[in-house]
Structure formats: structure tokens, C-alpha cells
């Protein structure tokens, strides 16, 4: 028998597990499946409400006693590069960008492994094999691109970013780069280049994932002007990063049912011809 999926997406919660950003805390995620003809519409709507995509899933932090993870995006119109960021652009003047369809290659995986072994050897992705990597790149129900960065001085592939194209911006799903060129600040360069990609395409935002006050590995995101964070159901301009308190509290997070009820869902009903 043929079964149709419900129009309204169903939301679920993951089991608590150790937080990868703040020591001694646990994380929990609210998530829903991303599938069907309305996947792009749902992705656009939930991305604007702090959700992120991972393959065929949209998720948002929903920790029981902590609300430190804040979805972050750069307003392209409000961004002005700092002196340090202008130097980063100059240091990478020999880098060429190439956008391709979301298809994994051996060169990408080799670079991915070198990046993880150098930067995140004890992270949750450290054991990812080539098949899992291919799934991360290729399993996307929406408009996605792989942005490759090549050094013209014969160093070959030095950076990759899996990028989603949203209705109001580009979303940097995951990026990685060679650990052999620390002086090039490639992580920052890839963000700067995505700001230019969005600007050229007339898209107002670059979605960066989550910024976590108190997490050193996430501190670089706060250095971009025009940064906005999603707090209390709306986007707010970033002020002084030191003003954000990462302390936890048992009443800081709304109950799951209340969180789901407050999610604004788009009209996902199929259009009649």
C-alpha cells in the first residue's frame, strides 16, 4: 500500500550526550526529517529560526539546562572586513574557487582526514570513513554546492566547504582545509569568500552554524562584523561577546512541547495545478 507522509513535520529529541563545546555539560538536539517536495521550503523556514542541516535532518540545540549555543549569521550589508581580515584576503590572493555539485572525491576525503587528524582528532567525526564522508557530502534534498579552494602555486586542493543555497543566503554546512598553511587563516578566508559569494548573488546572509560563548574553538565567529545571533525567537545584532553568559540553569530552556509549538512552519501543502 502507498502511504503518504504527514504535511506537518514531526519533531524528535535526541538522548543527552557529552557537549563537544563546553566541558562538563551535556547536549540534546531537537530535530526533524528533511524530505519530500517541500524540503527546500522547510529548510529555508527553519534555518531562519536557528536550525541547521545535517544530511536529511534539520536540528537545533535543545539542552535541558543550557542555552549557550546560538545560531549565528553574517549580515552581508553590515559586514566590513577588519585589518586582519584584509590581510587574510591578500595572503590568499593565489587561491582559486570552484563550485561543483555535491559529489565526494578522494582528494576531498584525503584533505578531510588530514584536517581532522590535525584539528579534531578526538571529535565526534574522527572515526568517519570514506562512505560516511560521501554521505555527508552527497545526501542533500536541497540545492547544495561543494566549494573547492585550490592553491595556484601547485599545492593543489587546500580547502572545501559544503554549502547550502537558501532563499535568503548561503549556509556553510561544513568546511575543512589543509593544516599545512596556518599563516593563511584558511578557515577565516573561506568565510570571507562566502560573504563575497552571497554579495555577488544578491543574498543578504551567510549562515555560520552556532556560536558558543565560553568555547574557545568557536571564538573566531565573533570577530566578523555584521554578526547576528538568534536569541528568544529573533535575530539580534551581536554586541560585546563578553556580555553573553554561558552559565547553565535548570529552568533556562522551555519544555519541548512549548518549543515545537513556537516554531513557525511554512505552508507545505502540495500546490494544485
Q: Which string of b and e fits 188-208 if b means at least 16 CB within 10 Å? A: bbbbbbbbebbeeeebebbbb
Nearest to 217 by CA among 122, 90, 106: 122
For residue 147, give the 3-state DSSP assignment: strand
CA distances 226 to 69, 74, 119, 121, Å, are 18, 5, 27, 32
Rounded CA-CA distance 233/94 in Å is 41
Q: Cβ contacts of residue 130 below 8 Å, gap of 6+?
A: 104, 106, 109
- How confident is the model at residue 66, as a pLDDT? 87
Q: Which string of b and e fits 129-147 if b means at least 16 CB within 10 Å? A: eeeebbebbeebbbebbbb
Instruction: Walk along the chain (273 residues) and give the pLDDT tens digit of each residue.
Output: 344 445 678 999 999 999 888 888 889 999 999 988 899 999 999 999 999 999 999 999 998 888 889 999 999 999 999 999 999 999 999 999 999 999 999 999 999 999 998 876 566 676 789 999 999 999 999 999 999 999 988 789 999 999 999 999 999 999 999 999 999 999 999 999 999 999 999 999 999 999 988 887 788 899 999 999 998 889 999 888 877 776 677 667 888 889 999 899 988 766 555
Rounded CA-CA distance 173/164 in Å is 7
Spell out the domains of the chain, with CATH numbers in brackets: 11-70+246-261 (no CATH), 72-241 (3.40.630.30)
The DSSP-derived string for 188-236 is HHHHHHHHHHHHHHT--EEEEEEE-TT-GGGGGGGGSTTEEEEETTEEE
Long-range contacts for 152-156 (Cβ within 8 Å, ≥24 apart)? 152/94, 152/95, 152/96, 153/94, 155/181, 156/107
pTM of the model: 0.91
Contact 148, 157 (CB under 8 A): yes
Q: What are phi and psi of 130, to 5 degrees?
A: -65, -30
CA distances 90 to 98, 186, 192, 221, Å, are 19, 12, 12, 20
Rounded CA-CA distance 148/155 in Å is 13
Contact 56, 159 (CB under 8 A): no
Contact 158, 125 (CB under 8 A): no
Amino acid at each position: 500500500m502507498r502511504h503518504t507522509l504527514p504535511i506537518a513535520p514531526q519533531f524528535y529529541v535526541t538522548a543527552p550526550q557529552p557537549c563537544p563545546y563546553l566541558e562538563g555539560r551535556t547536549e540534546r538536539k531537537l530535530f526533524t526529517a528533511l524530505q519530500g517536495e517541500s524540503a527546500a521550503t522547510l529548510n529555508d523556514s527553519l534555518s531562519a529560526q536557528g536550525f541547521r542541516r545535517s544530511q536529511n535532518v534539520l536540528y537545533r540545540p535543545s539542552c535541558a539546562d543550557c542555552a549557550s549555543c546560538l545560531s549565528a549569521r553574517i549580515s552581508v550589508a553590515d559586514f566590513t572586513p577588519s585589518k586582519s581580515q584584509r590581510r587574510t584576503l591578500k595572503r590568499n590572493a593565489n587561491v582559486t574557487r570552484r563550485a561543483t555539485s555535491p559529489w565526494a572525491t578522494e582528494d576531498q576525503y584525503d584533505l578531510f582526514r588530514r584536517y581532522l587528524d590535525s584539528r579534531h582528532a578526538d571529535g565526534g567525526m574522527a572515526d568517519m570513513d570514506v562512505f560516511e564522508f560521501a554521505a555527508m557530502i552527497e545526501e542533500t534534498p536541497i540545492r547544495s554546492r561543494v566549494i573547492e579552494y585550490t592553491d595556484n602555486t601547485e599545492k593543489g586542493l587546500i580547502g572545501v566547504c559544503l554549502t547550502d543555497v537558501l532563499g535568503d543566503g548561503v549556509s556553510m554546512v561544513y568546511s575543512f582545509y589543509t593544516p599545512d598553511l596556518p599563516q593563511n587563516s584558511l578557515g577565516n578566508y573561506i568565510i570571507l569568500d562566502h560573504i563575497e559569494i552571497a554579495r555577488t548573488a544578491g543574498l543578504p546572509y551567510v549562515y555560520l552554524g552556532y556560536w558558543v560563548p565560553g568555547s574557545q574553538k568557536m571564538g573566531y565567529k565573533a570577530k566578523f562584523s555584521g554578526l547576528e545571533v538568534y536569541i528568544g525567537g529573533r535575530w539580534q545584532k551581536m554586541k560585546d561577546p563578553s556580555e553573553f553568559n554561558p552559565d547553565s540553569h535548570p529552568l533556562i530552556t522551555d519544555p519541548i512541547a512549548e518549543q515545537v509549538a513556537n516554531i513557525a512552519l511554512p505552508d507545505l501543502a502540495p500546490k494544485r495545478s
